[in-house]
Amino acid sequence: MRILLLGSGGREHAFAWKFRQSPLCKALFIAPGNAGTGQHGTNLAIDPNNFPAVKQAVLEYAIDMVVVGPEEPLVRGIVDFFRKDESLQNVLIVGPDGHAALLEGSKAFAKEFMREFVIPTAAYEEFTPKDLRAGLDYVSRQQPPIVLKADGLAAGKGVVILDNISDAQQELQEMLAGKFGAASEKVVIEQFLKGIEFSVFVLTDGKSYKILPVAKDYKRIGEGDTGPNTGGMGSVSPVPFVDKEMMRKVESRIIKPTIRGIQEREMDYCGFIFLGLIEVEGDPYVIEYNCRMGDPETQSVFARLNTDLVALCAAAAQGRLDEMEIETDERAAATIILVSGGYPGSYEKGKPITGLDAVNGSMVFHAGTKSDNGQVVTNGGRVLAITSYGDHFQDAIKTSLANAEKVEYEGKYNRRDIGFDL
Ligand code: AMP
Ligand code: GLY
């Protein structure tokens, strides 16, 4: 198979690494990719949101299957674009269409879906600018903390949690007035759930599904889960508190009704579903759906996936996922993210990275890097993901931390406490 992978993060490097292990992978192209994906295939300087340019690459390189890493092209309808185009009819594409991707692209859509299919999630109401008064009144009747969510995609910044009613009313006013642009023209206000979060990944062809290894990510920049949110500072898989009984609840209460909802509504969903879950007093609730794999969870999850990922993706796109089995590596895996100084605020790019050759016993997945005349330099906030195996996740973390020490660039920072709460 000739594969085109869209995206440029650590998640995409992990996809590329895994695809390359498959005897089915005859050629791999990544658009736009990074310095790490370039080790496994050919990077193409194409923006995944430029669908005509993606199409041109598909035809030029005789691509058989397109796998979409990030959510934006999905929410913008890349799958619809492929379905409609005569010349792309024989090309497999892995990802939901624009309507199905609303499970991530619209919080209100996702909440209403969960309400209809009786999937456990926080109680909520939604408000638009014309219901501002009702919204302020609703907030005044809530018990803080109060969770406000911009309906649309807001680059991971659209969720605000406030500790008192007047701040929440102020925030609601600002959001409805366009604080997050069109994304906050509608705002979901939901009940605060107190518990511990984890991530479950499902691959579906719209009829059957396969559950991938469970993971947990660490979103805050600071140790002890303090400071601003980031794209993710580390991940572990498996997650000790997510035992067989918890996964049984997740499957029966969340995964099965989600797939049933997709079928009943005839949604075009062949791809990954990322369930952002929270355990509250022994029961799982959905915090959010994402229509893609997570980053940096993918690095730990794929490290533990023994099944051929090309075969899995093709089976999902062809509607024969029921033929596949998920085989898992029994070892634990853990990932530590190295970021640029200043991230998630402003940071500098273009810092030369040294010491990559000294890494021993870990995999290095590139995120914000690029190759500058043969020298790998920083090119983003999250720079590298260092993933290791261990009998216990703590052993895996130790190995990743030891290797993180060997890599150098100006401003390097990483958390040293990934897994601290497990
Ligand atoms: P989301 O973008 O919906 O995943 O929200 C971002 C983060 O906000 C989540 O990872 C949670 O840590 C937190 N969060 C979202 N919704 C809730 C909720 N209802 N209760 C508590 N925390 C929440
Ligand atoms: N790790 C969280 C995400 O990918 O959204």
Domain ranges of the chain: 2-94, 123-190
Tell me which residue has its CA closest to atom 3 in ligand 2: 294
Tell me which residue has its CA closest to atom 4 in ligand 2: 294
What is the reported pLDDT for 252? 98
Tell me which residue has its CA closest to atom 7 in ligand 1: 159
Angle between helices 132-140 and 165-176 (to 10 degrees): 160
pLDDT over 90 percentage in the chain: 97
Tell me the whole-structure pTM to 2 decimals: 0.96
What is the reported pLDDT for 155? 79
Question: What is the fold of 123-190?
Answer: Dna Ligase; domain 1 (3.30.1490)
What is the reported pLDDT for 154? 87
The mean pLDDT of 95-117, rounded to a whole number, is 97
CA–CA dist 246, 252 (Å, integer): 10
CA–CA dist 50, 140 (Å, integer): 44
Pairing of strands 234-237, 216-217: antiparallel
Instruction: Please say if the pLDDT value at position 172 is more than 90.
Output: yes
Structure tokens at 145: 């903390």
Residue pair 118/264 in contact by the 8 Å Cβ criterion: no
Q: Give the DSSP letter string of 96-143.
A: E-TTTTHHHH-HHHHHHHHHHTT--B--EEEE-GGGHHHHHHHHHTSP
351 Cα to the center of ligand 1, angstroms: 33
Instruction: Please say if the pLDDT value at position 75 is more than 90.
Output: yes
- Burial, 117: exposed, middle or buried (Cβ in 10 Å; 0-12, 13-18, 19+)? middle
> What region does 49 belong to: left with phi over 0, alpha with psi -120 to 50, or beta?
alpha
- Burial, 169: exposed, middle or buried (Cβ in 10 Å; 0-12, 13-18, 19+)? buried
Which amino acid is it at 368?
G
Q: Which of 221, 229, 290 to mutate to test the pocket of ligand 2 (most atoms within 8 A of CB)?
A: 290
Instruction: Please say if the pLDDT value at position 156 is more than 80.
Output: no
CA–CA dist 199, 155 (Å, integer): 19
CATH code for the structural domain at 2-94: 3.40.50.20
The mean pLDDT of 234-254, rounded to a whole number, is 98
Instruction: Please say if the pLDDT value at position 257 is more than 90.
Output: yes
What is the reported pLDDT for 148? 95
Per-residue pLDDT band at 183 (split at 50, 70, 90): very high
Do 2-94 and 123-190 share a fold? no
